[in-house]
Amino acid sequence: MDKATTNKFMTFSFLLAAALVFWTVGVLFDTASDSFAVVANLKANPLLQHGIPMVCGLAMFVWLQTSPKNKAFADEVITETSKVVWPSFRDVKGMTIAVTIMLIISGIVLAAFDLGAGKTLKLIMGT
């Protein structure tokens, strides 16, 4: 994968992380405003209500984008992920059928054991 594509993926993933921080801080701000009067007063101001999560998300994006360690880690992750060989549709379909059959067999075995154990306990208890 070339460097330009890697940088695009990296920037997009950093943007998603920043959006997640924005959303999380917004939810935490709303939750805290229900419990604390001081936070409720801050939430009454629309600039602070939307500004605090926006500043946190923007700070996260800038930190991720400017930190050499974060960029090196993301570059390694993208490089390793591009080396993954994904199974074909035929393989996935075959594995799904095999797992489904094994689940049905396991369910039948467990049901038989449960019924047998129940009957045995009824005989022992005498009911």
Instruction: Give the C-alpha separation, 42 to 34, whole Å.
Output: 12
pTM of the model: 0.65
Per DSSP, helices labelled H in 1-125 are 3-35, 37-43, 46-66, 68-82, 89-125
Average pLDDT score over the chain = 92
pLDDT above 90: residue 98: yes
Token pair listed for 85: 């060989």
Instruction: Give me the pLDDT at residue 6, please.
Output: 86
More reliable by pLDDT, 6 or 116: 116
Ranges of each domain in the chain: 1-84, 86-127
Query: What value does the CA radius of gyration of the chain take, rounded to a whole number of Å?
Result: 27
The string of pLDDT tens digits covering residues 30-89 is: 888 888 888 888 888 888 888 999 999 999 999 999 999 999 999 999 889 889 998 999
